[in-house]
Amino acid sequence: MKVVVLTGAGISAESGVPTFRDADGLWEGHRVEEVATPEAYDHAPMTVHRFYDARRSALLGVQPNAAHHALARLEEVLGDDLLVITQNIDDLHERAGSRRVLHMHGELLSALCRACDGRVRWESDLVDLPPCPGCGVTELRPDVVWFGEVPYGMDRISIELARADLFVSIGTSGAVYPAAGFVQHALRYGARTLELNLEPSEGTAWFHEARHGRAGELVPHWVEELLETAHSAS
């Protein structure tokens, strides 16, 4: 059975990583337009760097939770038949042990050089405009996909969604495309679809089944259930 899991900010909420569309609609006190667009970066690069530098250092202070660990356990059993597509830029899936993770919106712990297009693992600040280790030019930007930019890995994502027997969406509001359209793509190719989220997402009507609650409880329970089914079928 081929399983594709889409995760959003809700899966990291119980680890202490704020989600995007909380009550105030601000992203940690910033309007998204101020910090997550190429225009914002051209207009005020220091504001953007300070924003992501703060998130990068905050990330070093949080840990994966039970939902991340449950998906890592599922990968141990399903191997190449499981792919986690995440909208998150944190590294909590990998720190929980997942290897088959596709970061469609980029990664906080990576820097992208606008001069040579090189990518480098980055754990410290970018606001001091450090030189690119590859070409030496001081054009390193956060390796995250901003609004108006094309997400990473879309060709592979389309293929994997078309092959999926089961598509599961965890901790995402379904407010942002193209991720919000993945359920319809998977459905079109005959996948069964399941939503695990604190509340109904904007796309909840597209799911065969929806379970609402905290990911830290829902995901381990769903993984145990799937592994039991897989076990009794074998």
Q: How far is CA 111 from the centre of its chain?
A: 17
Could you say which of 105, 212, 221, 231 is catalytic?
Answer: 105
Q: Is 111 annotated as a binding residue?
A: no
Q: Rounded to whole angstroms, how far apart are CA atoms 11 and 222?
A: 14
Instruction: Show the binding pattern over residues 17-36: x = contacts ligand APR (CB under 6 A), - = does not.
Output: --xxx---------------
Three-state SS at 69:
helix
Q: Copy the structure tokens of residue 187.
A: 């459905």
Q: Copy the structure tokens of residue 172.
A: 């995402």
Decide: is 14 part of the binding site for ligand APR (CB under 6 A). yes
Q: Rounded to whole angstroms, how far apart are CA atoms 54 and 13?
A: 17
Decide: is 199 part of the binding site for ligand APR (CB under 6 A). yes
Is 105 marked active-site? yes
Q: Are 176 and 202 in contact (CB under 8 A)?
A: no
Decide: is 98 part of the binding site for ligand APR (CB under 6 A). no
Decide: is 191 part of the binding site for ligand APR (CB under 6 A). no
Beta bridge partners of 195: 169, 210
Q: Is 17 annotated as a binding residue?
A: yes
Positions marked catalytic: 105
Q: Footprint of ligand APR on this chain (CB under 6 A)?
A: 8-10, 13-14, 19-21, 87, 105, 171-173, 175-176, 197-199, 201, 214-215
Residue stretches of the annotated binding site for NAD(+): 8-27, 87-90, 171-173, 197-199, 215
